[in-house]
Chains A and B, each alone.
Chain A
Amino acid sequence: DIQMTQSPSSLSASVGDRVTITCRASQGISSWLAWYQQKPEKAPKSLIYAASSLQSGVPSRFSGSGSGTDFTLTISSLQPEDFATYYCQQYNSYPRTFGGGTKVEIK
């Protein structure tokens, strides 16, 4: 199974800050990586697929990069509605696996 490791597990940031979350795969997954946002008591929301492609309707302050084993999710200017938990997920192979999540909290 491919292990997905996210870092950090949590971070505190202020509105307007640039935030970067990293995700590492235990083996190469090309660009078969997605990012999801989840707010408390809500279903996950898809943000990015194919490592860097934004889902329709996702604000352009979100961006993704990387390929192979190392990936990054960046929020260029954190907004109040962005405080949430973020997960990466590989879909290179089965079983699909998620990272442990990164909780973005208000400083």
Chain B
Amino acid sequence: EVQLVESGGGLVQPGGSLRLSCAASGFTFSSYDMHWVRQATGKGLEWVSAIGTAGDTYYPGSVKGRFTISRENAKNSLYLQMNSLRAGDTAVYYCARGRYCTNGVCYTRGMDVWGQGTTVTVSS
């Protein structure tokens, strides 16, 4: 079964740091781009970061310089290091599977698999 399981959420003070993890199973993790998407309570979805199969990374302006996405293919794991956290970063954070690449050719079905989410609360 294809599955993504996030962990690492919790309560952190403004200015603090947190590291989220996403454990992947049931597919060849190293062949997929991976994303983090967040959702504040009662709000819409906001894309937070992505990492390609070659380790290339992407961020929106709202988190660039504060968040770092990384992956460890040997452990089928995705990470999000979040620093200088603000109240506005409070949200449920989801990891999601993206584009598939093999032999130099890539195929995409959007973000086709999502984890159940982990909650980050930034508050004093």
Contact = CB atoms under 8 A, between A and B. Distances in A.
A80 to B, nearest CB: 23
B87 interface: no
A43 B115 contact: yes
A89 interface: yes
Given A43-B116, A45-B114, A49-B109, A97 B47 contact: yes
Interface string A59-80: 0000000000000000000000
Interface size on A, as a range, is: 20 to 34
Given A95-B58, A95-B59, A96-B35, A43 B114 contact: yes
A96 B109 CA distance: 14
B94 interface: yes
Interface string B27-47: 000000001010000001111
A87 interface: yes
B116 A46 contact: no
Interface of B: 35, 37, 44-47, 50, 58-61, 94, 96, 98, 108-117
A46 B110 contact: yes
A63 to B, nearest CB: 16
7 contacts: A1-B60, A43-B114, A44-B96, A50-B109, A96-B50, A97-B47, A98-B44
Given A94-B50, A96-B50, A46 B44 contact: no
Given A43-B117, A46-B112, A55-B109, A89 B50 contact: no
